Structure 1
């Protein structure tokens, strides 16, 4: 099944449209470069053919290594993906940059030699809803008059 999906950065300056197919894989990358690039314990990506991605506003790009480029928003700093610098192969988009990432389920861990074991399964930890944090809730109410989406 094909599905048109949209996404972009936190501030809304960079937007994209992607055609997602059933074979497109979502996965977690545990490599140290992705950890540094995103500030996360692991980076969730969706891998798709470059020709099924259309940037509505072209992102900023930086060369993160001799073989890779990463799209991002220079205004808000949102990391948007990973692509090989030679222009070959697919592109990875960060899962969190999709407007609605609920369709995706991870199918593998990549760079498993770098997994941070304490962060691999956090399902046993207690949960807290963001609206239960009185200090944050009050800041949003004072700023916007409502909680963000």
Structure 2
């Protein structure tokens, strides 16, 4: 049974409500996505366009002759990917308010995959509040750490 999930951009100017039917997500490693997001890969949730309602219409960038990408021009958040001639689109997993339910089930665009970034198990780990430079700035600006 589909679950109603919400999400949006960092500044909250663009918000969406989506009907999500399963937990499957995927990682895209193609050069188009790498350049559009500034990352080595991006996590996406494929969803029907009819299953997404935008509270405020996102800005759209024509990233190639075959694709467009919703984003927020105010804060720069990447919100997804779509072929204009398709009934489906991809929403960025991190744009969901609670992305924890999604599980990666496949890789796409593996011709551009940076394998060294896939298995980071064993690297040193630090929580945000453990970094004194970050913690000091958050506490001075807001009185505490963000959620």
TM-score w.r.t. the length of structure 1 is 0.95
Report if the CA contact (8 A) 1:25-1:48 is conserved: no
Aligned to 1:18: 18
For 1:7 and 1:52, locate their aligned partners in 2 and report how far apart those are by CA, in whole Å.
13
Q: Which runs of 4+ in 1 moved over 4 A?
A: none
Gaps of 5+ in 1: none
Aligned to 1:113: 111
Report if the CA contact (8 A) 1:81-1:94 is conserved: yes
User: 1:19-47: CA deviations, max 9, x gaps?
Assistant: 0002x630000000101111111100000
For 1:83 and 1:111, locate their aligned partners in 2 and report how far apart those are by CA, in whole Å.
15
Q: Secondary structure at the match of 1:124?
A: coil
Deviation, 1:120, is 1.2
Matched, 1:4 2:4: yes
Matched, 1:51 2:37: no
Deviation, 1:117, is 1.2
Gaps of 5+ in 2: none
- Number of residue pairs aligned between Structure 1 and Structure 2: 147
Cα RMSD after superposing both structures? 1.0
Report if the CA contact (8 A) 2:50-2:87 is conserved: no
TM-score w.r.t. the length of structure 2 is 0.97
Matched, 1:29 2:25: no
